């Protein structure tokens, strides 16, 4: 049985509301002010000094859980910083909020929803209640249906309309209905059934669909239309294109039933689109789009790596969940990472976080984290609607190492901005490639990871540069200030389990930050205005009439110029 887990969740009940009381005024909390005073006293201490003062620091400021080893000793924190951060977290009610999330309370207050991605990876015997109903049996029922479908398709028993075997799977979705699936597919490609081709179409730019399908045979292609709401413009447009592409070749409406499946919470819209709801895999409004890669949205992942592999992925998520809900804050990886992020953002003034996986299979991980972190914590008002007077969500970005080293690392080392980095690496390569001297290219890769963290932390002083005989005019150019913080995350090998733990680590760290900042990390109202304006503008682009007066003069001029360029 693929979906067996070791630990269980205790029975819970649903209560609400979580926050009818005002969110604490963060910067006026005595604990926050204590942290500020601490920063004024010692926030500028150099990592050289911190390491010199504590020779065991590199071993001590580390923590481990769910197969992940996290070294935060190269962050600009000391024991007092960490203690004060924990005090802030306690003052913000972090432990109660963690419990509230796991218990299915409606902590997404602006949408009046529970936030239960953790239930998606809970074992079958767990009990999590939302509105009086235990949701776990439904979660496992969908997993079982997904597994049955995956086994059929992977085994060649699910055939296309003409009787040909399905060899291509195209996932159509955007945001959380794309980034998780594509990231997980790329990350776990090593474990995937190589005879199957996987493609991912997200952009409303037609090129995405055309390029993804140009070399595929419709008779051998299955589309998974993924959309939580099933109302998303891009996804519906691409699904229509897919349907037309499929029917142009197969010439029979009945083909849709063999070549399209849907993943959604919205049965009505799925049926309206013309996909038989017997071919639909459901999930629930208490799963946020950016927290949904372990729901049925992960169907493409399960098709690629199989039900057992998907079970391992869920078990990795669950192991981190259990750690997060039970480990004391001092050893709690998501709490540590989240709180250190608060320190970097709100006290050291960092605006971004660079995520730098030294693992080519994780090439889409930074993009995945962008939605997870920035759609979650890119907020400017608290749960009770007050404007914040402090910075919230950092800008996440990154590329795999070592490529980034030959591109943007210059700015991280010697530029004027402070950019905390998360390095991610593994003990064992999935694709060993021996070098003539008997070592492996993977050793070179990991040597680079370690070198970057060391160079960023300790830099190179002007005196050290001079001691190398460098001409005085070049000394300032060759000096590295150091004191640039980083965290290093190591695991033995990139497996489905480790990927699950890694994603859950960032999910929960994001939540920790949202709790401290007092924002709703689970809504995304900020994406709405653009959607409304795009709908209105789309109608205007295809009409001859003068653009509406409601636009500004720049938008009106752009509409006119676009029409001229298009028609010219």
Which residues are identified as catalytic?
375, 406, 531
* Closer by beta carbon to ligand F6P, 160 or else 289: 289
Contact indicator for 46, 483 with CB cutoff of 8 Å: yes
Distance, CA of 351 to CA of 436 (rounded, Å): 43
Nearest approach, Cβ of residue 190 and ligand F6P (Å): 27
Nearest approach, Cβ of residue 92 and ligand F6P (Å): 25
51: which residues sit within 8 A by CB, 6+ positions away? 57, 58, 73, 457, 458
Contact indicator for 412, 456 with CB cutoff of 8 Å: yes
Q: Would you say the C-alpha torsion 45, 47, 48, 51 has a positive or negative sign?
A: positive
* Closer by beta carbon to ligand F6P, 175 or else 393: 175
Judged by CB under 6 A, does residue 5 bind ligand F6P? no
> Between residue 248 and residue 277, which ones bind ligand F6P under the rule CB under 6 A?
none
561: which residues sit within 8 A by CB, 6+ positions away? none
> Between residue 463 and residue 502, which ones bind ligand F6P under the rule CB under 6 A?
none
Nearest approach, Cβ of residue 111 and ligand F6P (Å): 11
The single residue among 12, 75, 235, 405 that binds ligand F6P, judged by CB under 6 A, is 235
Q: How many residues bind ligand F6P (CB under 6 A)?
A: 14
* Closer by beta carbon to ligand F6P, 67 or else 175: 175
Q: What are the C-alpha distances in Å from 297 to residues 173, 207, 303, 468?
A: 9, 23, 11, 56
Phi, psi of 470 (to 5 degrees): -75, 140
Distance, CA of 17 to CA of 38 (rounded, Å): 35
Residue among 430, 388, 420 nearest 518 (CA): 388
Judged by CB under 6 A, does residue 377 bind ligand F6P? no
* Closer by beta carbon to ligand F6P, 175 or else 218: 175
Judged by CB under 6 A, does residue 527 bind ligand F6P? yes
Nearest approach, Cβ of residue 531 and ligand F6P (Å): 7
Judged by CB under 6 A, does residue 108 bind ligand F6P? no
Judged by CB under 6 A, does residue 290 bind ligand F6P? yes
Nearest approach, Cβ of residue 102 and ligand F6P (Å): 22
Nearest approach, Cβ of residue 232 and ligand F6P (Å): 3
Judged by CB under 6 A, does residue 524 bind ligand F6P? yes
Contact indicator for 507, 443 with CB cutoff of 8 Å: no
> Between residue 171 and residue 230, which ones bind ligand F6P under the rule CB under 6 A?
174-177, 227-229
The single residue among 19, 118, 232, 479 that binds ligand F6P, judged by CB under 6 A, is 232
Q: What are the C-alpha distances in Å from 487 to residues 76, 393, 536?
A: 10, 18, 45
Q: Would you say the C-alpha torsion 190, 192, 195, 196 has a positive or negative sign?
A: negative
DSSP string, 457-498: HH-B-HHHHHHTT--GGGHHHH-B-----EEEEEESS--HHH
Interface segment toward ligand F6P; rule CB under 6 A; list 79-87, 168-176, 429-437, 465-473: 168-176
* Closer by beta carbon to ligand F6P, 227 or else 495: 227
* Closer by beta carbon to ligand F6P, 31 or else 376: 376
The single residue among 93, 160, 218, 289 that binds ligand F6P, judged by CB under 6 A, is 289
Distance, CA of 155 to CA of 178 (rounded, Å): 25
Distance, CA of 529 to CA of 139 (rounded, Å): 33
Q: Which residues of 134-164 are buried (b: 16+ CB within 10 A; e: fewer)?
A: bbbeebbebbeebbebbbebbeeebebbeee
**Residue holding tokens 């029975």?**
11
556: which residues sit within 8 A by CB, 6+ positions away? 547
Alpha carbon 362 to its chain's center: 12
Q: What are the C-alpha distances in Å from 372 to residues 298, 330, 368, 376?
A: 16, 24, 7, 6
* Closer by beta carbon to ligand F6P, 212 or else 498: 212
Distance, CA of 168 to CA of 188 (rounded, Å): 17
* Closer by beta carbon to ligand F6P, 47 or else 372: 372
Nearest approach, Cβ of residue 222 and ligand F6P (Å): 19
Nearest approach, Cβ of residue 535 and ligand F6P (Å): 13
Nearest approach, Cβ of residue 378 and ligand F6P (Å): 12
* Closer by beta carbon to ligand F6P, 467 or else 529: 529
Judged by CB under 6 A, does residue 110 bind ligand F6P? no
Residues that bind ligand F6P (CB under 6 A): 174-177, 227-229, 232, 235, 289-290, 375, 524, 527
């Amino acid at each position: 049985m693929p979906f067996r887990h070791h630990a269980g969740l205790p029975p819970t009940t649903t209560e609400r509301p979580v926050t009818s009381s005002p969110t604490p005024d963060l910067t006026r909390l005595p604990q926050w002010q204590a942290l500020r005073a601490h920063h004024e006293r010692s926030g500028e201490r150099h990592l050289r000094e911190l390491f010199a003062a504590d020779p065991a620091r590199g071993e001590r400021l580390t923590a481990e859980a769910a197969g992940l080893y996290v070294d935060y000793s190269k962050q600009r924190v000391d024991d007092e910083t960490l203690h004060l951060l924990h005090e802030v977290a306690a003052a913000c009610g972090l432990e109660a909020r963690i419990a509230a999330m796991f218990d299915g309370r409606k902590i997404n207050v602006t949408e009046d929803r529970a936030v239960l991605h953790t239930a998606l990876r809970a074992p079958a015997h767990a009990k999590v209640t939302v509105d009086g109903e235990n949701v776990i049996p439904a979660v496992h029922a969908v997993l079982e249906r997904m597994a049955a479908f995956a086994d059929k398709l992977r085994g060649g028993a699910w055939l296309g309309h003409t009787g040909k075997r399905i060899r291509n799977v195209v996932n159509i979705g955007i945001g959380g209905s794309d980034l998780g699936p594509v990231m997980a597919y790329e990350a776990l490609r090593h474990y995937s059934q190589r005879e199957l081709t996987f493609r991912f179409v997200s952009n409303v730019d037609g090129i995405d669909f055309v390029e993804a399908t140009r070399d595929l045979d419709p008779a051998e292609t299955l589309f998974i239309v993924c959309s939580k709401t099933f109302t998303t413009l891009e996804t519906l447009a691409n699904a229509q294109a897919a349907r037309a592409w499929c029917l142009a070749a197969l010439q029979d409406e009945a083909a849709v039933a063999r070549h399209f499946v849907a993943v959604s919470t919205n049965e009505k819209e799925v049926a309206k689109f013309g996909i038989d709801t017997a071919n639909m895999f459901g999930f629930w409004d208490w799963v946020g789009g950016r927290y949904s890669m372990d729901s049925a949205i992960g169907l493409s992942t399960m098709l690629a790596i199989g039900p057992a592999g998907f079970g391992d992925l869920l078990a990795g998520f669950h192991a981190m969940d259990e750690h997060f809900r039970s480990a004391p804050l001092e050893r709690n990886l998501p709490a540590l990472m989240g709180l250190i992020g608060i320190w970097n953002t709100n006290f050291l003034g960092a605006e971004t976080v660079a995520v730098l996986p030294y693992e080519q299979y994780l090439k889409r991980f930074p993009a995945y984290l962008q939605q997870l972190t920035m759609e979650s914590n890119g907020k400017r008002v608290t749960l009770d609607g007050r404007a914040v007077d402090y910075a919230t969500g950092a800008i996440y970005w990154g590329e795999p190492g070592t490529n980034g080293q030959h591109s943007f690392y210059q700015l991280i080392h010697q530029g004027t901005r402070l950019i905390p980095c998360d390095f991610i690496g593994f003990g064992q390569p999935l694709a060993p490639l021996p070098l003539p001297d008997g070592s492996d290219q993977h050793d070179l890769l990991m040597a680079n990871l370690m070198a970057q963290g060391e160079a960023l932390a300790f830099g190179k002083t002007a005196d050290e540069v001079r001691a190398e005989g460098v001409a005085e005019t070049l000394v300032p150019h060759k000096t590295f200030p150091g004191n640039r913080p980083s965290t290093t995350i190591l695991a033995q090998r990139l497996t489905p389990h480790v990927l699950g733990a890694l994603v859950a680590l960032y999910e929960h760290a994001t939540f920790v930050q949202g709790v401290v900042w007092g924002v709703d990390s689970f809504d995304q109202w900020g994406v709405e205005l653009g959607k409304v304006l795009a709908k209105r503008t789309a109608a205007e682009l295809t009409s001859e009439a003068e653009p509406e007066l409601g636009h500004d003069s720049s938008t009106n001029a752009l509409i006119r110029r676009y029409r001229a360029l298009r028609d010219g």
